[in-house]
Amino acid sequence: MRRSTIIAVGHLTAPAVFSVGAAFLLANSSHDGLGDIAALLLGGFLFYSAPHLAWAAFCSVFKPAIRVQHTGFILCSCALALVCVLSFTVRDASGLPYQWLAYWPLAMALLFALSLGWFLAKFHALMPNPSLSPRPTTAGRLARAARWFMLHHAGKPSHLRGRG
């Protein structure tokens, strides 16, 4: 198994655990059948892990460094944790969990910022920077002048050195 696959599977445990917890809470509140609990588990896992899966697809296509991969998965988990905390603390007057509408946009905004920073850093490192080009030093100028003198004047008689 590739290292990035192991990382992705490891980071997908956060949404899996969260979906199991959410399905357990919903199953306790409403006594539905086993099929409904399975649908809650699968649907919840797909909902909670969608940003993680999108980042895993991005990593498989563009192959960023391992640190960047970890950072993306951690940002997705942080967005999930933030929205989870908001769902338990801040309630809408209607009682509907509107804060979950912010989960995917928040995770995608964080991943977009990370991927944009990674692209800029990667391609900036590939582009030459003219301000960092080496300047000729005094020793370099002297060596170039010595080479020119050796090419043009060495071995010529003294009365011919002024020409050419």
* Predicted pLDDT of residue 130: 57
Distance CA 102, CA 83 (A): 7
The beta-carbon contacts of 35-40 under 8 Å, at least 24 apart in sequence, are none
Tens-of-pLDDT digits for all 164 residues of the chain?
A: 677 778 888 888 888 888 888 777 777 766 667 777 788 888 888 988 999 999 999 998 999 989 999 999 999 999 999 988 888 787 777 777 777 888 999 999 999 999 999 998 888 777 666 565 556 667 777 777 777 777 776 666 565 555 54
* Predicted pLDDT of residue 106: 95
* Predicted pLDDT of residue 143: 78
Residue 36 structure tokens = 């409904």
* Residue 49, CA distances (Å) to 35, 52, 108, 159, 164 in order: 21, 5, 12, 86, 77
pTM value surpassing 0.85: no
* Predicted pLDDT of residue 134: 59
Distance CA 125, CA 129 (A): 9
* Predicted pLDDT of residue 76: 94
* Residue 70, CA distances (Å) to 27, 62, 119 in order: 33, 14, 16
Phi-psi label, residue 155: left if phi above 0, alpha if psi -120 to 50, beta otherwise:
left
- What's the helix, strand, coil split of the chain in %, to 5? 80, 0, 20
* Predicted pLDDT of residue 38: 80
Distance CA 11, CA 100 (A): 20
